[in-house]
Amino acid sequence: MKKTVCDAFNNQAFTSYVINIVFFIAYFLILTYGYTYRFRDDIIFLNMTTNQSSIMAYLFDRYATWSSRILIEAIVAVFSMLPLSLFRLFFSFLMTQLCWYYCRIQGSPSLVHTLIIHVLFLLFPLFYLSDTGFISTGLFYVLPFWGLLIGLLPLVNQLKNRTNKKINWILYFLGATVASNFEMTAVLLFSLSFLLNIYLLILRKRPFIYASITSFAGIIFSITCPGNKIRTAIEIEKNLPEYSTWSYSDKIINGIFHGLLSSYTISEVKFFIIAMLLLIIAKNVDNISKLIIATISLFLVLLLSFLDQIFPEIFTQNFHSLYEGTVSDNIYLCLLLLAFFSCITTLYISFDIIKDSIIYSLIYLAGACSCFIIGFSPTIIASGYRVFNFMIFGIIFCIAGIIKSTVIINKKQIIPFIPMGLIVMRMAIMNIQYIENLRLGSMK
């Protein structure tokens, strides 16, 4: 029997492909409209690459003087010299891949779930993806995360008794290699793959150790790289000279303070956290205890925002703020810790299956740790808003998981979606304004 067009659209896999293609086209058109010139680090990378006799000479120089991210540096160097249209195509494909693997890791999502994941990625702050240039920021912070997802997919499939296709294994080696070339994702890949392999052994299933070995090698490569040591020394001297006087406890306190402060007071990150909490409220509207805990978490996040906006001379801390032990710092730190642990608790209890609760809580913690490492890696200050990419990636994954496990059974669950709509509109407007400013040349 021949299939009609309607039959094809009733096929979930086919419709998922259609959503991916539409997202790819939309993202490419956005970049084509706004990203019409190289700016900031994009120009610097272009000049550094063309001033060397070859890309290999450039990579040797970067390894010796600045960075251990040789593979990613090579990709950035190539796209720095290619026409911008090729980068726009590649980056649009890369963002589409993130959406695709979010869906694959979480199983066979519904079409609504698939569509929402793509919408969330369209709302991802474009400023964070291009803080110092789309090519440099986008590739340095998106490519490793793409590798992380691909490197973990076969292990997750094995854990959940799903079939691994041959292409999954080919991409597994590629993804694990890319993720291992970036410090944060190397640590995440090693930790998660190691734990997953241990669990597979307990279940008497075949472990896959390439990701663990490669990521561990990536960590060692990063630690021993002479360029990383030079870069750290330069950044300490330029941005944080007092770092050399810090004790171990100072590093922990400043890491907690800076990481939490950044997560709960920077508007874009805060919006995603609030969206996550509103969805948890919608999911558990008939469970009084879970509803109360989620509401308290939302109240604390809104309170931090209120204090930050209404009393800037007392409470406001900027991105580069460090813990100084003042009364306002102590109040802020207590509220931040309370909000953080409340959000973690809310996320944990929002799932009915303990395994899901643990997994999504760990993902949220992993995103928070990308900000926490300020206490141990002062170069993170120089990275600016780019570090929030990993935090937002983690929150979007948690939101996707909450949506997948949510069933709308009564009208009361619709109420939290009203402020959610306002948040979506605000994030969309911020992206539109940014891409318009970018097009008008404000980043030059």
pLDDT in tens, 367-396: 887 777 766 666 655 666 677 788 899 999
User: CB-based contacts of 329: which residues, under 8 Å, 6+ apart?
Assistant: 257, 317, 323
* Cα gap 326→333, rounded to integer Å: 10
Nearest CA-CA partner of 136 in 189, 239, 60, 66? 66
What distances in angstroms separate CA 102 from CA 114, 117, 160, 298, 399, one per listed residue?
9, 8, 15, 26, 11
Q: What is the CA radius of gyration of the chain?
A: 22
Residues 207 and 259 in one domain: no
CA 73 from chain center: how many Å? Answer: 20
**pLDDT (mean) for 57-64:** 93
In a domain, 7, yes or no: no
Long-range contacts at 427-431 (CB < 8 A, ≥ 24 apart): 427/123, 427/125, 427/268, 427/271, 428/122, 428/123, 430/125, 430/127, 430/268, 431/122, 431/123, 431/125, 431/126
Residues 152 and 84 in one domain: yes
In a domain, 403, yes or no: yes
Domain termination residue (choose one: 239, 270, 288): 239
DSSP 412: G
Residues 219 and 269 in one domain: no
Residues 67 and 213 in one domain: yes
* Cα gap 25→18, rounded to integer Å: 11
Residues 288 and 216 in one domain: no
In a domain, 14, yes or no: no
CA 9 from chain center: how many Å? Answer: 31
Residues 269 and 235 in one domain: no
DSSP 353: S
Residues 228 and 360 in one domain: no
The length of the chain, given as a count of residues: 444
Nearest CA-CA partner of 84 in 25, 137, 42, 45? 42
Domain termination residue (choose one: 190, 208, 239): 239
Q: Is the CB of residue 68 less than 8 Å from the CB of residue 129? A: no
Residues 299 and 347 in one domain: yes
In a domain, 8, yes or no: no
**pLDDT (mean) for 184-206:** 86
User: Can you give the residue range of the structural domain that contains 316?
Assistant: 247-444
Q: Is the pLDDT of residue 4 over 50?
A: no
Q: How many folded domains does the chain comprise? A: 2
pTM (2 decimals)? Answer: 0.89
Numbers of helices and strands, H then E, in the chain: 21, 0
Q: Is the CB of residue 274 less than 8 Å from the CB of residue 298? A: yes
* Cα gap 140→176, rounded to integer Å: 15
Residues 47 and 105 in one domain: yes
**pLDDT (mean) for 235-244:** 76
Task: Read off the pLDDT of residues 250-299 as tens digits, 9 standing for 90 and up.
Answer: 777 777 777 666 677 777 888 899 999 999 999 888 889 999 999 999 99
Residues 390 and 373 in one domain: yes
Domain termination residue (choose one: 239, 267, 287): 239
In a domain, 11, yes or no: no
**Helix-helix angle 248-265:288-310, to 10 degrees:** 100
In a domain, 3, yes or no: no
